[in-house]
Amino acid sequence: MAILQIRTFPDSCLHAPSRPVERITPAVERLIRDLIETMRHHPRCVGLAASQVGSDASVAVVDVTGHPKVFPRSARDFALPGSTSGLLVLVNPQITAQETWTIQREGCLSVPDFTGNVRRASRLHVSALDERGEPWTRWVDGFEAIAVQHEADHLAGRLFLDRIANVRTDVFRRKRYW
């Protein structure tokens, strides 16, 4: 496993759409492990896409566990079908439905000096392959849904800056680095 170098804006790999993964090979397995290690190496990082480390594979990882933007769930929430938390491995992810829109401040390792207000769905249905190539599908909500959309955008060649409504009012210079 390795901590990979993060590509930063305006690197052209951040604007290139990823290519679908046809099968889980040892190289893809290594990429997944390295993405997880790299994500966990950066404090407060909740997701990382392969394009952020220079790979064109459609692979991302998300884990919002313990992040301050995750609100404690009630016991009722755990009974909801598809409730999820923990590490999500997203190989060839597809967002198939979106509900309940919100605007939230986002940051990104690939845009280290800025944050921005971005409109995203706070509930979405996603399908992908896991690290073994097994298909899965579920609803994710809240901050986890926002993180999944952020990483799916990376795989489509988009940054959060591409979703900003007004650059003058919705982009902010980062005040602190974690």
Active site residues: 151
Looking at this protein, which amino acid is placed at residue 56? D
Looking at this protein, which amino acid is placed at residue 157? G
Distance CA(160)–CA(51), nearest Å, equals: 14
Q: What is the DSSP letter of 28?
A: H
* E-state strands within 67-168: 88-108, 111-129, 135-141
In angstroms, the Cα distances linking 55 to 5, 7, 16, 74 are 11, 10, 10, 39
Helix (H, G, I), strand (E, B), or coil: what is residue 55?
A: coil
Distance CA(74)–CA(83), nearest Å, equals: 12
